């Protein structure tokens, strides 16, 4: 497991005990239909956001060099790319080509040695740690190869946890969790725990969790790597659906040539550069 995946899992574990208690307090008797209307209104607001003509994310000349044993290791060697609003972008390349390193930059989990990353017309590469964390929590969602779900919490509670972490007001949790679980096709299985769900279903819970707080950008590192071709196709169908219904943009890495056709744009990475 890569370090930033561990960091995220650790942060979630720290609040898990408290979350389990609070999740138990949720009552099924709440007036779901009234709050569902509020949620629909919030979604309309998101979808009616004006879509600017420029890209959501613009990467210019990004270089990332690590120092390994006192020697420079050049992993990214001048990356230029764009993620347009409400599009699906794939980063394809062999293991070790630098895809995850680039995804870490896009998500603000690491910073470029050189170059610029503009997010929503703001210089993301210039922000300090705190401001980057704020942008990440509010406007970005992450999906990982290992599903990063809390095993003791139900699918519902896992998604609710992400709303708590994004500091979404508690009154919105229930309708929003139900909405995103229905969106990923798990409306009838949301009270199951991860071990009671298939790999594809667990990944759909992870998607629900990543989009629940209405991010603008979804970053996914090999989201279909552990799935068979049928489940991978389902995940890609969910991605296409949430671009339409949630107005999100997606950037994902993949090794899998069979899913490339659903991308709006594919960047092929070889040894730290696009070809
Ligand atoms: N923090 C780091 N310190 C030193 N080297 C690193 C660091 N992070 C990544 N690397 C190196 O950068 C190279 C690219 O790694 P990266 O994980 O980005 O590749 P990848 O294309 O995502 O591979 P995979 O598909 O296997 O995940 C590798 O040689 C890796 O060892």
Evaluate: CB of 101 within 6 angstroms of ligand 1. Answer: yes
Mean pLDDT along residues 47-70: 88
pLDDT in tens, 194-227: 999 998 999 999 999 999 999 999 999 999 988 8
Q: Which of 10-14, 70-74, 253-257, 269-273 has the lowest mean pLDDT?
A: 10-14
| Crossing angle of the two packed helices 32-47 and 229-246, in degrees rounded to 10 | 80
- In angstroms, what is the span from residue 99 Cα to ligand 1's centroid? 8
H-helix or E-strand containing 249? Answer: strand 249-254
> Exposure pattern of 63-72 as b/e (b: 16+ CB <10 Å)?
ebeeeeeeee
Q: What does residue 124 show for φ and ψ, rounded to 5 degrees?
A: -60, -35
Which tokens hold the place of 153?
């919490």
pLDDT at 52: 74
Q: Is the pLDDT of residue 129 over 50?
A: yes
Please tell me the chain's helix, strand, coil percentages from 3-state DSSP, rounded to the nearest 5: 45, 25, 30
Neighbours of 107 (CB within 10 A): 21
pLDDT at 9 over 50: no
CA-nearest residue for atom 1, ligand 1, is 66
Index of the ligand 1 atom closest to the CA of residue 272: 14
| Ligand 1 contact via 97 beta carbon (within 6 Å) | yes
Domain 3-57+84-111+127-270's class?
alpha beta
The pLDDT score that the predictor gives to residue 142 is 94
- The C-alpha atoms of residue 244 and residue 234 are separated, in whole angstroms, by 16
| ipTM here | 0.96
Q: Which is the closest atom of ligand 1 to the Cα of 2?
A: 17
Predicted structure pTM score = 0.84
- Of the pLDDT bands very low, low, confident and very high (cuts 50, 70, 90), residue 148 is confident
Q: Please tell me the distance between residue 96's alpha carbon and the centre of ligand 1 in angstroms.
A: 5
Mean pLDDT of 2-6: 45
Which strand (E) or helix (H) includes residue 132? helix 129-139
What local confidence, expressed as pLDDT, does residue 256 receive?
Answer: 87
Going from the Cα of 100 to the center of ligand 1, the distance in angstroms, rounded, reads 7
From the CA of 3, give the closest atom in ligand 1. Answer: 1
| Span of 27-41, 102-116, 152-166, 202-216 with lowest mean pLDDT | 27-41
CA–CA separation, 231 and 236 (whole Å): 9
What is the average per-residue pLDDT within 164-173? 92
Instruction: Find out whether the beta carbon of 68 lies less than 6 Å from any atom of ligand 1.
Output: yes
| Position 37 pLDDT exceeds 50 | yes
Whole-number pLDDT of residue 62: 98
> Which sequence spans correspond to the domains of the chain?
3-57+84-111+127-270
Q: Find the 52 Cα to ligand 1 centroid distance in Å.
A: 33
Confidence of residue 13 (pLDDT cuts 50, 70, 90): very low
Q: Which atom of ligand 1 is nearest to the CA of 104?
A: 18
pLDDT in tens, 83-112: 999 999 999 999 999 999 999 999 999 999
Q: What pLDDT sits at residue 264?
A: 97
Give yes or no for residue 82 having a pLDDT over 90.
Answer: yes
- Confidence label for 53 from pLDDT (cuts 50, 70 and 90): confident
What pLDDT shows up at residue 38? 61
pLDDT at position 5 is 43
Angle at 145 between CA 140 and CA 146, to 5 degrees: 105
């Amino acid at each position: 497991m890569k370090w930033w995946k561990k960091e995220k899992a650790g942060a979630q574990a720290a609040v898990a005990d408290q979350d389990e208690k609070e999740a138990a307090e949720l009552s099924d008797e709440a007036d779901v239909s009234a709050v569902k209307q509020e949620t629909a209104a919030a979604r309309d607001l998101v979808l009616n956001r004006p879509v600017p003509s420029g890209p959501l994310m613009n990467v210019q000349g990004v270089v990332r060099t690590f120092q390994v044993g006192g020697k420079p290791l050049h992993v990214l060697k001048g990356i230029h790319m764009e993620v347009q609003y409400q599009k699906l972008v794939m980063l394809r390349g062999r293991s070790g080509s630098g895809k995850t390193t680039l995804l870490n930059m896009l998500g603000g989990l690491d910073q470029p040695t050189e170059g610029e990353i503009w997010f929503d017309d703001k210089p993301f590469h210039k922000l300090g740690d705190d401001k980057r964390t704020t942008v990440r929590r509010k406007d970005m969602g992450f999906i990982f190869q290992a599903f990063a779900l809390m095993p003791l919490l139900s699918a519902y509670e896992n998604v609710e946890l992400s709303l708590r972490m994004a500091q979404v007001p508690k009154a919105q949790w229930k309708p929003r969790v139900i909405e995103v679980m229905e969106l990923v096709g798990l409306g009838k299985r949301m009270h199951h725990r991860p071990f009671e769900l298939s790999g594809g279903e667990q990944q759909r819970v992870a998607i629900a969790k990543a989009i629940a707080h209405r991010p603008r950008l979804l970053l996914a590192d090999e989201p279909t790597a552990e799935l068979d071709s049928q489940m991978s196709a389902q995940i890609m169908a969910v991605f296409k659906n949430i671009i339409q219904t949630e107005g999100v943009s997606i950037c994902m890495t993949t090794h899998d040539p069979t899913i490339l056709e659903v991308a709006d744009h594919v960047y092929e990475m070889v040894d730290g550069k696009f070809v």
